[in-house]
Structure 1
Amino acid sequence: GWVLSAKQRHRLVESARRHDCMLIEDAAYAYLVNDTPPPLVALAPERTVYVSSLAKSLASGLRFGFIVAPEDCTSRIKTTIRASYW
């Protein structure tokens, strides 16, 4: 895995805001890194979809994940997940 430094995260957020882009952060393996910088969702909650899972860190047989997303994106995300996985 690869983790962006705090400086890289700030630059990415600045660029996403400048170009009006959404960010998706997959943090399923974030628990493996010591001293991880704050997640992108902490820096830009209005444009970040944060995805993680307990299956990697807690129990491999447990199929449980979660998403933190801006309010205006949640219904589209729910619809997409239900249509493609559940």
Structure 2
Amino acid sequence: IMMPLPKGAYEFLDVAVPLLKDGGVLHFYHWAPEGDPFSEAEALIIGTAEAEGKKVCFIDRVKVSQYSPRTWKIRVDARVSAA
């Protein structure tokens, strides 16, 4: 599932994660601070997956582009499977 809109995509994780088949891949875009760009997005994905009884394996993390000074558009790719 592609979630390419970084502004507010996290609000739809509770819809997207249950729709993933076992072993499905989530491509999640998010705005992130320069210093620690991936931890917030990863925590959002893990929290939603755990609430659905699923586990997460992160495949890739990418700084896509700079949005403003010290703010990045990032992508986190995660494989979601049954716990």
TM-score (norm 2): 0.37
Larger helix proportion of the pair: 1
TM-score (norm 1): 0.36
Larger strand proportion of the pair: 2
